[in-house]
Each structure stands twice: as structure tokens, then as C-alpha cells.
Amino acid sequence: MAETTVIAFDLYGTLLSTDSIAKQLEKHFDHAKAQSISALWRRYQLEYTWRLNSMGVWENFSAITRNSLLHALADNDSQLSDDNIEELMRAYDNLSTFADVDPTLTRIAADLSIQTVIFSNGTKTMVLNWILRSADLSPHASVFRDVVTVEEVKQYKPARACYEHLAKQTGQDPSHMSNLWLVSGNPFDIVGARSAGMRAIWVDRMGVGWKDGATDLRPTAIAHSLEHALQEIQSR
């Protein structure tokens, strides 16, 4: 029997395009301001998780997402009503997938040697809402064997405890994680996985090349799409 390959897909910025929220913001602002708010929303969302990790403080990802939106609006000297804020939060549960998600998940569904999970900073409620309600993803919901989030750990990626939790949830030995793959479009996530002993493929859709200099850790491989990432894993 072929050995099972465990692939953990990051969610935001890997399967889901966080830039797609700009379309919702354009209901309230011109294109330039919507783009600015969208970019800052994502920046503060990540920055807040790292700040909280450093302080040893836990706040759930839904609250972080809402607070980072308010911060992004304030930076743009803008305001929205509470109803509009809640509408945007609901839209965040229905972000668009990248174009390479559908063909990649279709290929994975046909390969019984692959066990696939979602590994996210998001709350389990946020992730399940996306899987079950997204027109893009719901047809592929059965591909994912599990949803692993950081809520039980109460730390955010790239804290080592998050990757050890992933290993335990997927039946791997946290002290020997070389059989566990992470696929992510976020450099900080790749570095965290590599530091914990995992193999990790960075999805460089924009072709900008690896520039992260926080450590000397690098991805196991760099792929220009999810399909390319899958090919890299299957060839090893």
C-alpha cells in the first residue's frame, strides 16, 4: 500500500484571495480607497496576530479581523455603519478562491494516497462557513479530511506550538514532522513550518522570488501555482 502523504493547506492568501474583499469595499468607496483599505486590513490582521503572540495574549481571529478592518478604515479617514461592518465581516466568510484551487483539488480527489487538511489561523466557524457556503469550494468539501485551527493552542502561526498541534491532529509525531507538508502563500507560515521540521512549499503566484530574511530558513520548494506545488510533492 502506498504511503499516505499529508498535505496541510493554509487558507487565507493560499486558497482564498484576501484581495477579493476589495470588490465588497468598492460598494462604499472608490477603487483606490477600496484597494488601500483592503491591503491595510490584511496587513493589520497579520500584525495583530504577531503582536498578540509576542505579548502572550489570545484574541480569536474573528475579533482580530473586525478590529483590523476598523484600523484600516481609520487610517483612510473613513467610517462605515455597524450594519456595513457586519456585511463586510460576512463577506470575509465568502472570499473568492484563486483560479488554481479548483483543478488542484480535483486532482487531489483522484489520488487516494493524499490526505488533505486545512490549517488556518481562522476560527473553525469561519473556516467551516467558507467550506460549506462558498460556491467555489463547497463542491470540493469532501477533499478535506479535517480542519485544523489554532484555537486550541491559543497562539497564532508562526508559533511552533501551532505546527506541533497540526502534527498531532493529523497523526504525525511532533518531534519528527518531515512527512508532513505545508502549502502556503505566506512566507511567515513557511518559515514557521520549516523551523518546526516540516516540509513546506511556498506558492509564489506573482513570481517575486523568495526575499524573507528574518532567518536563513527557506521553502523546501517554490511553486508558481497550487498545481505546481502538488507536482513538487508528488515527485518526491
Each residue's pLDDT, cut to its tens digit, for the chain (236 residues) gives: 357 899 999 999 999 998 889 999 999 999 999 999 999 999 999 999 999 999 999 999 999 999 999 999 999 999 999 999 999 998 888 888 999 999 999 999 999 899 999 999 999 998 988 888 777 888 888 999 999 999 999 999 999 999 999 999 999 888 888 889 999 999 999 999 999 999 999 999 999 999 998 889 999 999 999 999 999 999 98
Q: Could you tell me if 8 and 183 are in contact, meaning their C-beta atoms sit under 8 angstroms apart?
A: yes
Query: Residue 38 has which C-alpha cell?
Result: 483592503
The model's pTM is 0.94
Domain that holds residue 40: 18-92
Among residues 30, 62, 92, which one ends one of the domains? 92
Q: Which three cell numbers stand for residue 112?
A: 487516494
78 plus 155 within the same structural domain: no
> Which distant-in-sequence residues (6+ apart) come within 8 Å of 22 by Cβ?
34, 35, 37, 38
Do 59 and 117 fall into the same domain? no
Residues 68 and 84 in one domain: yes
Same structural domain for residues 78 and 103?
no
